[in-house]
């Protein structure tokens, strides 16, 4: 036994919750998982540590600087910084064992040595789904992803949210038609529209050296408004003679049509021509989802279509479409904004409090309830009744059953609803039906 006491604390940038908050967090994670499974996605669970040469095959950039490397004399190992690179490696590695289209979900922690900042996490959960095709993948999959986003956020308790969609290749074709060479730079600027406004975007486009008429055309495009059908109509009426643009527009029409067929209400998805997503591997459809009443939270779920998942690991062409929910950040933001709160969260349905010598009979009651799959705890420690009731109260356990002489004699147990304070003497059968 050491005399030195180490101060118990965790590193900055790591989220750790009290049990009540953890229950809430887990409920959200369970809801996400349940919805992913309902849509036919299969689970995988890749290692947190992988070979650095695999994880960093793409190399360079911010990612590499943020990666946590493991100290080792013999092997260069790193911690995963997302779930997409491991997916690419997984699909390449088990290619011959998998059935395509391969629908996988993965919910797990990823690691990034981010700068220490409020709301930024160095360890956080990502909840990813992807549909990977073998050589090709139907565009209808791009419409099913919003349907799953809708189903998930609905069940998470949200009503007012908008899934914004766009087709990246359509924009690219549009820029081609304007003879803009570095379309990536222009996309980067346009992506900021919602954040910095039209005027600032225009200024940045001028700084890029674009001519006035070109900027005018871009403005007209991103300024297109109306319902989804109206936007598609307006895009058609632009009569742009560019193959990529028209291919993208055709895809957009199909995706919108099928999103409707998948019964996503019109108010929950919206073509947004300025949404382009920063990640450069998206080529087609892109999604960003926002809570209408809390725009400052930013996108709470994002994704898109990519041409080729795993070019670093295999010569197989593997197009895909997917999306990710950053659950740790989402949970943190929702709690900070008081949209969710753990005051009611409990997993245990009933606390059994034995009076004096009635521990044995309390255990018997617990056996009966647990056989009925009712989450039950017996308070086994000694102490005053008030302390025991207080324990149930503090843990948000909704019901308390007292077991004492009277109860054992009559077979009627004191059953207290901790929220209303109401107490009655009822049989074990009645308790079971109350708790179920």
> Looking only at residues 206 through 225 of this chain, which bind its own copies when binding is defined by CB under 8 A?
none
The SS3 assignment for 61 reads helix
Closer residue to its own copies (CB): 144 or 288: 144
48 binds its own copies (CB under 8 A): yes
Closer residue to its own copies (CB): 167 or 378: 378
Provide the pairing of β-strand 42-43 with 102-111.
parallel
354: left (phi over 0), alpha (psi -120 to 50) or beta: beta
54 binds its own copies (CB under 8 A): yes
Count of residues in contact with its own copies, rule CB under 8 A: 101
- Residue list 373-432, contact with its own copies (CB under 8 A): 373-378, 380-382, 391, 394-395
Closer residue to its own copies (CB): 12 or 411: 12
The token duo for 43 is 């689970």
Closer residue to its own copies (CB): 53 or 212: 53
- Residue list 220-279, contact with its own copies (CB under 8 A): 258, 261-263
Radius of gyration over every alpha carbon of the chain, rounded to an integer in angstroms: 27
Distances (CA, A) of 214 to 160, 202, 383: 36, 11, 79
Closer residue to its own copies (CB): 1 or 179: 1
Which part of the chain contacts its own copies (CB under 8 A), choosing from 46-54, 201-209, 220-228, 413-421? 46-54
Burial 342-366 (b: 16+ CB within 10 A, else e): beebbebbbbbbbbeebbebbeebb
Here's the x/- map for its own copies, 100-129, by CB under 8 A: it reads as: -x-xx----x-x----------xx------
Strands (E), 307-347: 320-326
- Residue list 155-214, contact with its own copies (CB under 8 A): none
Here's the x/- map for its own copies, 352-371, by CB under 8 A: it reads as: -------xx--xx--x--x-
19 binds its own copies (CB under 8 A): yes
Closer residue to its own copies (CB): 137 or 235: 137
Write down the least CB distance from residue 352 to its own copies, Å: 10
- Distance (Å, whole) CA 145 – CA 103: 11
Which part of the chain contacts its own copies (CB under 8 A), choosing from 53-61, 183-191, 214-222, 420-428? 53-61
Write down the least CB distance from residue 218 to its own copies, Å: 28
- Residue list 287-346, contact with its own copies (CB under 8 A): 308, 310-315
Dihedral sign of CA atoms 32, 34, 37, 43 in order: positive
Strands (E), 292-412: 301-306, 320-326, 350-354, 376-378, 399-403
Terminal-to-terminal C-alpha distance of the chain: 47
Which of 128, 231, 140, 215 minimizes the C-alpha distance to 178? 215
Count CA within 13 A, CB hemisphere, residue 379: 26
Which part of the chain contacts its own copies (CB under 8 A), choosing from 140-148, 163-171, 213-221, 225-233? 140-148
């Amino acid at each position: 036994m050491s005399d030195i006491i180490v101060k118990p604390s965790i590193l900055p940038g790591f989220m750790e919750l009290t049990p009540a908050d953890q229950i809430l967090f887990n409920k959200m994670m369970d809801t996400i998982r349940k919805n992913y499974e309902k849509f036919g996605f299969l689970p995988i669970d890749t290692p947190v540590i992988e070979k650095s040469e695999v994880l960093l095959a793409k190399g360079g950039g911010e990612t590499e600087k943020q990666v946590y490397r493991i100290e080792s004399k013999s092997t260069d190992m790193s911690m995963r910084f997302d779930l997409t690179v491991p997916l690419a490696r997984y699909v390449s590695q088990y290619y011959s064992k998998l059935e395509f289209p391969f629908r996988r979900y993965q919910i797990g922690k990823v690691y990034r040595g981010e700068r220490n900042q409020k709301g930024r996490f160095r360890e956080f959960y990502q909840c990813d789904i992807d549909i990977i095709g073998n050589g090709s993948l139907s565009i209808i999959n791009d419409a099913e992803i919003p349907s799953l986003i809708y189903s998930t956020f609905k069940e998470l308790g949200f009503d007012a949210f908008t899934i914004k969609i766009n087709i990246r290749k359509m924009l690219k074709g549009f820029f081609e038609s304007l003879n803009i060479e570095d379309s990536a730079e222009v996309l980067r600027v346009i992506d900021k529209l919602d954040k910095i406004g039209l005027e600032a975007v225009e200024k940045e486009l001028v700084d890029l050296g674009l001519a006035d008429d070109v900027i005018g055309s871009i403005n007209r495009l991103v300024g297109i408004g109306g319902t989804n059908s109206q936007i598609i109509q307006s895009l058609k009426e632009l009569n742009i003679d560019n193959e990529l643009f028209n291919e993208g527009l055709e895809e957009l029409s199909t995706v919108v049509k099928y999103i409707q067929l998948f019964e996503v209400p019109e108010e929950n998805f919206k073509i947004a021509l300025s949404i382009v997503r920063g990640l450069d591997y998206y080529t087609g459809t892109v999604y960003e989802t926002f809570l209408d009443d809390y725009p400052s939270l930013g996108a709470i779920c994002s994704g898109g279509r990519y041409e080729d998942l795993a070019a670093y690991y295999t010569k197989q062409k593997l197009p895909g479409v997917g999306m990710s929910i950053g659950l740790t950040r989402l949970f943190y933001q929702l709690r900070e904004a008081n949209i969710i709160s753990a005051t009611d969260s409990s997993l245990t349905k009933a606390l059994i409090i034995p009076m004096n010598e009635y521990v044995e009979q309390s255990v018997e009651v617990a056996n009966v309830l647990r056989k009925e799959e009712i989450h039950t705890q017996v308070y086994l420690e000694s102490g005053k009744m008030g302390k025991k009731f207080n324990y149930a109260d503090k843990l948000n356990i909704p019901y308390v059953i007292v077991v004492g002489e009277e109860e054992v004699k009559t077979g009627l147990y004191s059953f207290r609803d901790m929220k209303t304070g109401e107490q009655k003497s009822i049989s074990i059968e009645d308790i079971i039906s109350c708790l179920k």
